[in-house]
Amino acid sequence: MTTAPREIDETAEKRVAAHEPVTGIDLPPEASEHAPIHHDLVRAHTVTGLVGLLFAATFGLIVATKFSAPEFLGDTEVGSWGRMRFAHVQGILYAWLMNGFLAFAYYAVPTLSGRPVRSRTLGWVIFYVWNIGIVALGWTFVLLGYSQSVEWGEFPVVVDVVTVLAFLAVGVQFLHPYLRKPRGRLYVSSWYTTLALTFTPAAFVIGQFFPEYLTPGAMGAVISGLWIHDAVGLLVTPLTLAIAYYVIPATTGRPIFSHFMSMVGFWSLVFFYPLNGIHHYVYSPIPMGAQKVAIMASVFMGIGVVVVVTNLLASLRGNGYLAFWDVPLRFVWTGIVFYLLVSLQGAFQASMRVQEQIHFSDWVIAHSHLAMAGFASFIIIGGLLHAWPNVSGRTVNRRVANLAYWVATIGLVTMVVYLTIVGLQQADAWTSGAPWIESVVVSETGWLVRSLSGTALFAAFVLLIVSLYKTPVDGPGQPGRGVDREDAGASR
C-alpha cells in the first residue's frame, strides 16, 4: 500500500469534519472515532477465510486429479468425486468468499456509514455460527454422504436452516449502521453492500427449499438456475464490487471517475442479473419465452459490466502506475479485468447457438473458475491485503505477496486457457458424431494441466498467508503502514 489513510481526498475529509454530506463519488476517510472498527473480527474472518480456502482448494485438487487418475484415493466413499466436488463448491462460497466478505465488511462498513456495526458480541456469534454451524457441519455432512441435489446448495437442509438465520444476523449487523442516520449520501460501495444483504436471504430460501421440496421438475430447475446466478450475481458480485470501489480511491486518494456510471452499473445489476440464471437451461423443457428473456438479460448485463469496468479503471486516471507497485491494488485491478472477460464470455456463452455446441463442456468450467478464482477471489485478496496492516499492526510482506500474485495469475490463466481449449475440443467431438470416448481422449492433456495449474493456485494461497505473518509488528492503527518500508520507498 503506498497511500496513507490521511492522504485520502481532502475535500471529502473536510466535508466530514464540517458534518456536511459526502458526495457519491468521494470515499470517506478511513478510520473514524465515531465508527470504531472491530479489528479482531476482521482478523478472525481473514485468517479463517484463507485457511478455509486451502481446504476448499484441496477438495478441488482432488476433483481435478480424479479426471486423470480415477483410482486416486481408492474406492472410499468419503473420497469419491461427487462428495469432493460438493465440498469444493460449497467451501469456496461459504468458507472462503463469505469469510472474506465479512472481514472486509467489518473494516469498511463503519467508515462508509459513519456508524459502528450493531454489536461486537453479535459479530462473534456470527463468526462461530458461520464457521462451525455452516462450514464445518456442512463439510461433515457432504463428506458422509448427506446432501441435497441443488447446484450451489449441496449442504443438507439442516445446514440451510442455520444459513438462513446466519444471513439474517449478518443483515442486522451490517444494515444497522446504515439505518442509524447514515452520514450524508451513501457511497457506491454501500449500495452494493445493502443490495447483497437485503436480497440474499429471500433468494437463498427460494433457491434452497423450493426446488427440493415445493417445485420439482422443470419449474424447480428454473428456480435452481435463478439461485445459481443470484448467488453469483446478487451476493458475490455486489460484495466484490463494493471492495473494488473502496480500495481504488482509498489507494489513489482520488474520487471515483463517474457517479452517473456507478448508478448505471448498479441498476444494470439489479434489473438484469436476477433473470440470467435461466440461461443454464437453454434447450430444456421450460418455456422458450423464459429462455429467450434470460439470454437477452445476459447480453444487457454484459453491457452494464462494460460500464462498471470502465468506471473503475478510469478511476485510476493519472495513478495507473500504482497498480504496478501496490500489490493489493494490483490484485483488485486484475480482478476487474477478469470481471470484464468473464462477463463478456458469459453473455456470449448464453446464446442458443453457442450453448448448443459447448454446454456441459470444460469451457463452462473455465468460465466458472475465471469468475470465482479470478474476479471474486483476486478482488477479495486485494481488499484483505489493503485492510490487514490497519487491523493487525503488521505490514504485508510485499515480496511474498507479489510472488503470490504472479503464481496465482499464471496458474489461473493457464487453467482457464487449457480448459477453454479442452471444452472446444470436446464440443467438436460431440457434434461430429464421433464415439464419446474420443472426447475423453482429447481431454487428457488439458485435465493434467488443470491439476498442475490448480496446484499453482494452492501454492499462491499458501504464500498469501505467509505474506501476512512474515513481517514484524508495526503497531495497529499507525499511519504509513502498509508494504515493507523499503518497498514503499521504491514505489514512489
Span 472-490, pLDDT tens digits = 554 444 433 444 433 433 3
**Rounded alpha-carbon distances, angstroms, from residue 263 to 126, 144, 188, 189:** 31, 46, 8, 11
Three-state SS at 394: strand
pLDDT band at 184 (very low <50, low <70, confident <90, very high): low
pLDDT band at 215 (very low <50, low <70, confident <90, very high): confident
239-280 pLDDT, tens digit each? 999 999 999 999 998 889 999 999 999 999 998 888 777 777
Q: pTM for the whole thing?
A: 0.90
Answer whether residue 13 shows pLDDT above 90. no
Looking at residue 416, what is its pLDDT?
97
* Nine cell digits for residue 387: 485492510
Mean pLDDT of the chain: 87
User: CB–CB of 398/471 below 8 Å?
Assistant: no
Looking at residue 359, what is its pLDDT?
86
Q: Which residue would you say has higher pLDDT here, 464 or 228? A: 464
Q: What is the mean pLDDT of residues 193-219?
A: 87
pLDDT band at 399 (very low <50, low <70, confident <90, very high): very high
User: CB–CB of 4/488 below 8 Å?
Assistant: no
Looking at residue 32, what is its pLDDT?
58
121-159 pLDDT, tens digit each? 999 999 999 999 999 999 999 999 999 888 888 999 999
User: CB–CB of 460/408 below 8 Å?
Assistant: yes
Give the amino acid at 463: L
Question: Virtual CA dihedral for 470, 471, 472, 477, nearest 10 degrees?
Answer: -120
Answer whether residue 16 shows pLDDT above 80. no
Looking at residue 29, what is its pLDDT?
64
Task: Check residue 329 and report its DSSP letter.
Answer: H
HEC readout, 133-180 = HHHHHHHHHHHHCCCCCCCCCCCCHHHHHHHHHHHHHHHHHHHHHHHC
* Domains with residue ranges and CATH for the chain: 35-468 (1.20.210.10)
Looking at residue 182, what is its pLDDT?
57
User: CB–CB of 100/464 below 8 Å?
Assistant: no
Packing angle of the helix pair 218-231, 188-209 (nearest 10 deg): 150
**Which phi and psi angles does 29 have, rounded to 5°?**
-60, 140
Q: What is the mean pLDDT of residues 181-198?
A: 85
Buried b (16+ CB within 10 A) or exposed e, 393-425: bbbbbbbbbbbbbebbbebbebbbebbbbbbbb
